[in-house]
Structure 1
């Protein structure tokens, strides 16, 4: 069932910072492109806010370069120290986000950067580290549970109840609106879309590699609006009912079918500190485990045909891997406490 609704949305200043970062990185990669310089200057002079964002990003990137220059480049851990050092000279909530965002775009260092320099955590109102989960109660009684390595921002007022999911996954038990606006819906925003419900229990997870968000509804009904950033404020809603899972992209929504990734995973079991799976591909299972395990976890691609079922506790992933070795024809190779690789058992 579809319905037309009005969705008044306003872009946050973070968008201007991202635009400034985009121009800065483009100019650094093409220093002799005079047409690019002219277009950047035109953008800067288009609005006063553009120039302010440009100056802020310039200042942040300068501090970053100064501090990294003092450190041995071969030691990736030094990037963390550089970020912390530069952060002491900036307003933490506003500028650490810019600092890390610039670093991620301009100087990525693969897996280490993605796992250990997540700029979303620095600008978040609430965040978790790898392997950590956290419960938060919002002013209206809404309950949030953040999964591992997640970050959210919260915007609450008499006119809105909004949760912005910037990283990871969140389970939401949405309460009714306050006494002044009992019908005010709770909204969850991601880069791919908007989800809203007056009252419902549901989980939202970002899937960056698929450029999508996954919505799993446990109870109630959630309205979905894909691509809210890219088009008009009036659009058609798709309704997600209880016991359904959907994938949201900027161009549309699709209900999960039997062929979808993760079909054997209970999308709510993590809220109890466990992972419940039924006939799940081992490679998909290990990808889930890696979300809760600090360090690197890799595996052979030929394990894709191995299946796993059962209930596994997430608090101790080393023990979890040991249980897999007992049940399946696999072995785990470890080099350090933070490096593990799963492969077929040697004959």
Structure 2
């Protein structure tokens, strides 16, 4: 079993972790407070686990991508005189998030609970206990459960590339169903309302949650998209791993609007084009390390203007004379 599964964080411990985080934001923190904070962290492994999660949680709140929500996040994280009032503000933030945040902004809550995650614009690689190789694409999160009889990955959001080598069965759960594989290399992307799976080596079996009695076999060189009750796309793909796993974004005659939507996954803020430009075509191979450079390169090639109100709000417009 994954070690973090044994360190369940209770509501009381989570509250204590957030209390200490707020205490340490005071302008002058006393030696006694620092000593008490360290004693609390060292008192139990779950306290240290909760503290690490609290830091992740706080970073995500500071990095909220929705400008309308940022003041609320800052208000919740500022030093306060009372833990009660601070936690009350945090509860307001959670309530607002449930109804108002976009899917990407719920990432701060998922990362509090995720075993592994990547931030916006980051690709992250690691190896699990059974030597399964995992690579997370931008803004992705997973949970991992390894038990004696089963090995499971839960894709909370985003996209991952999995390379299996040991022949034992691994399952990957998404919002729409489960896929199972023993020896394969494949990617899984959680999209809005459906799951997209691509196989590069080996094969796997897909079980949509409402079609569990009708498993679908997928072999190398195939890509499938499915909802909980429907398979609605199946097509051939190249056997090479996705470009993002090499830190690249590839376009082959792609609509500009679709290209910018893909690129926006790798940067903070809003990125779009004038609707009149949506059907212009983009081709090229672009390193993902500098999205600003990609935007200006595409604009230069298509002879467009880049409008930037801030670095978080970018629009491509027809070039003026």
Of residues 212, 218, 221, the one that matches 2:200 is 218
How far the C-alpha of 1:272 sits from its partner, in A, is 0.3
Backbone CA RMSD of aligned residues: 3.0
Of residues 97, 103, 113, the one that matches 1:104 is 97
Quick check: 2:200–2:241 contact (8 Å CA) kept in 1? no
Of residues 310, 316, 331, the one that matches 2:284 is 310
- Matches of 1:100 and 1:256 in 2, distance apart? 41
- Matches of 1:314 and 1:290 in 2, distance apart? 11
> Corresponding residue for 2:34?
none
User: Would you say how many aligned residue pairs link Structure 1 and Structure 2?
Assistant: 247
> Corresponding residue for 2:306?
332
> Corresponding residue for 1:343?
317
- Give the structure, 1 or 2, with the largest relative contact order (CA under 8 Å, sep 6 or more): 1
Q: Deviations over 1:308-335 (max 9, x none)?
A: 1110011100001111022113221011
- Matches of 1:203 and 1:117 in 2, distance apart? 20
Of residues 275, 289, 292, the one that matches 2:263 is 289
- Matches of 2:231 and 2:275 in 1, distance apart? 29
- Matches of 1:125 and 1:80 in 2, distance apart? 24
- Matches of 1:312 and 1:165 in 2, distance apart? 27
Alignment of 1:125-274 (within 5 A): 125-177=115-167, 183=168, 185-208=169-192, 211-227=193-209, 230=210, 235-257=213-235, 268-274=242-248
Q: Deviations over 1:205-241 (max 9, x none)?
A: 1111xx10110111110110012xx57xx62210111
TM-score of the superposed pair, with normalisation by structure 2: 0.69
Quick check: 1:121–1:150 contact (8 Å CA) kept in 2? no
Shift of the 196–342 alpha-carbon distance from structure 1 to 2, 3 Å rule, reads same
User: Which segment is superposed worse, 323-332 or 127-136?
Assistant: 323-332
